[in-house]
Structure 1
Amino acid sequence: MEETAITIYDVAREANVSMATVSRVVNGNPNVREATRAKVLEVIDRLDYRPNAVARGLASKKTTTIGVVIPDISDTYFATLARGIDDIATMYKYNAIIANSDSDDKKEVHVVNNLLAKQVDGVIFMGNRITDSVRAEFSRSRTPVVLAGTVDGDEQFASVNIDYVSASREAVNQLAKSNKKVAFLSGPLVDEINGQRLAGYKEALKENKLKYTEALIFESKYSYEDGIAIAERIKNSGATAAYVANDELAVGLLNGLLDLGLEIPEDFEIITSNNSPVTNYTRPSISSIEQPLYDIGAVAMRLLTKLMGKEEIEEKTVILPHGIVEKNTTK
């Protein structure tokens, strides 16, 4: 026999109250007598009633869900950001739908469209850049959007980041104290975030009177395997240090250089960008720019709740503080 879903009507009938009262109990409305609330909750438990979020959404024009677009859920950097988002979402009684875009431009558009089709109340977008196609989808839908750890040069959308120019300048300054040739290793330079990091790299070279040369600039995918694969080219470039734009990439580079027989940090120094947990798992542990990853996620979600609630926003482009953590890949 096919089970029929328990409805709000069944709960109201069984508890001998109005449907409006059941709705008030389910939504945590304080205007319900304690004895009535207890009776309704007992019936909800006994009948295993689950409120239909979609139906509730149709009534209130809100689905109380938000979409979160992540390029790579297995990357600890994005996972830590997502944790900050989820905690604040829960606090404001929103459910988060997390969608993985695999850093693939076509899949990203598909994922964004899927979320918008689900009528989410808002979207937090994490990606290495915001493509024109994704920008067009967001502009077409009136859904509020906040970028987390993603740079939008046009400042069309609200965003939460650190100052990547100044962070990479500090990192490269550190390396330039004892190295004449510092390599720059990042994902694609079309990603605005890497453009900012490169600008900081160039500023640091200038401050240390070192010549900028294309031969020390390396572009790659953001992965551990790519870090290993590029190690030999970086060693052959004559560089004795590298600033790396992604932690998984930095771990790959570290292991690749160790495989080539280099001593770290004696022969080669490394500073990476995100200080995600993976930087502590390596031996030696990797020195890094320190970002408040959890806070970037949490602040982005709080900003989104304000946009969804049409509240006044003082600052649409939020820049959080950063630092540098010296571990064992620097002298």
Structure 2
Amino acid sequence: MTLSTKLVIVIRADLPAALAANAAAVLALSLGGRLPDPPAGDAKDGSGERHAGLNPHPVPILSATADQLRDLHRSARADDDLITVGFNEVARQARSYDGYLAALATTPANEIDYVAVAAYGPRSRITALTKRLPLYAAEAPVSAEAGRTHRKAGLFPTVEDHRFSSPANVGERQLLHDMLRAQRDTLALKCAGVAEALARRAVPPSTLSLLGLIRHLADVERRWFRQVLAGQPAPPRFSSATNPDGDFDDAVPEPTVIAAAHRAWHDEIAFADTFIADARDLDIEGHDTWRGSVSLRWVLVHLIEEYARHNGHADLLRERIDGTVGM
């Protein structure tokens, strides 16, 4: 089912998990009665038992600061095509609904702080309003998988892990290429098995995510190998002069966005690997607006450094998602 509308709930980032769950429930009940379409029809399982119809929308639970929530509520309410419900501190602190109404009537709008905000409407407008907000993450401990509990990275690979097992005394081209492959494979490993959490911005207020790293590094490979060394007119896929952080900011948890990121990254890697293999030698050069003339040798060293830096980010992101360390 393809939906042209979108529903989100945004919760204040410092709200404890129990209060966040309460806020989400209040907003879901409040917003549900205002939606133009009823939930999907009832369904039956394989045993013939009936299951009540559900809201067909995925409901991402995002987080924001108090100031961001206030701005979000103001902007969403100003858009007549959106349905917006805010759960504010006046309501949270009231002991009864009548008490809430009485307190609200004496509180100026500019003094109302929001605990959470829900919004529904055209997908593009909801995305534009919330695309910079990370997923809500309660500060609860996460458990690592068995065998993934040692923080020390695998510098001495297991039999199954061939990332750093290439010969250490080969020629310069193969050595640099093998090290670049190992860094790429490390990022792929960090992103494996957590498809639904790839876009999670697990270290607020940073917009870094594993999906953002994939998109960013696809553009990095594209720039150095296609643009600089091959001289192709190949603009970035995920960022632009007007949206320089689009690779990270627009990394939203939607299947089409995730699939496009993986496809782009693998396409750019395939082009780079062919270019490296076919190059006359490591001294061939291209021109870059930042560094001037650069050699293939310099680009390979730079890419190894770039991946190594972002794999450090991926270490923290993956640990925050499911507790896995030492990959």
Task: Please report the TM-score for the alignment, with normalisation by the length of structure 2.
Answer: 0.21
Q: Which has the higher contact order (CA 8 A, sep 6+)?
A: 2
